[in-house]
Copies of this chain bind each other. A is one copy, B any other.
Amino acid sequence: MSVTRNFVPPPPGKHFERRVPEGDTTERYVCGQCGHIHYTNPKIVVGSVVVCGNRILLCRRAIEPRKGLWTLPAGFLEEHETPLDGARREAMEEACADITVDALLAIYSMTHISQVQLMYRARLDKPEYAAGPESQEVALFAWDEIPWDQLAFPSVRWALEHYRESRDLAAFAPYSNPTA
C-alpha cells in the first residue's frame, strides 16, 4: 500500500465536497447541504518499552498488519484517556502486564500515516505477563536476544535503541525520529 502526503480519505457522507472553507488555508470535507466541516487530524499512538530486570517485553502480533512479527505494547489513544493511562491499558490488553511508567522516552512523528507516537519507558516489577487477544506470544528478551530482523515497525527499533541510550538517565528530553 502506498500512502503519500497527498492521501485524501474518502468523504464521510455523500453530500461532502473537498474545498478550503472560508477563513481556512487547508482543504477539508465540507457538507454541501449544511456547511458542516469534517475535520480529520493525526492520531496518537501510545506505547512503551517495558523492562523486567534487564530483559525487554515484546509481543508477537496476532493481527494484521505485520502479523507474526514482534512489537512493543502500543495502540491508539482512546477518547477521554490520558496518554499514560493509554500506555498502561495497551500493556494490559496486549501483554496482560501491569506496568509502571517511568518516563516519556520518545515522540515519533510518522507523517505519511499521520500518527504521533508517544513512547514511554516502563518497568514490570514481576515477570507476570501473558498473550492478550492481539498477541500470539509475549516474551522477555535480553538485549542480545531481541529478534532484530523480525520487528514489526521501524519505530519499534527506534524505541529500543533510544531506551538503551536513556537507560542510565533519570531526567532527559524525549527522543525523536532518528535523522537518516
Contact = CB atoms under 8 A, between A and B. Distances in A.
A41 B78 CA distance: 6
A22 B82 CA distance: 25
Question: A42, A109, A111, A171 — which one has the most chain B CB atoms within 10 A of its CB?
Answer: A42
Contacts of A12: 12-13
Nearest to A111: B80
A67 interface: no
Contact of A83 (B83, B104, B107): B107
Contacts of A44: 41-42, 44, 116
A7 to B, nearest CB: 8
Q: Size range of the interface on A?
A: 35 or more
A174 B107 CA distance: 11
A93 B76 CA distance: 29
Contacts of A39: 76
Nearest to A14: B13
A40 interface: yes
Interface in A27-73: 39-44
Contacts of A7: 80
20 contacts: A7-B80, A12-B13, A13-B13, A26-B78, A41-B44, A41-B76, A41-B77, A41-B78, A42-B44, A42-B81, A44-B116, A82-B109, A104-B107, A107-B118, A171-B171, A171-B172, A171-B173, A172-B172, A172-B173, A174-B174
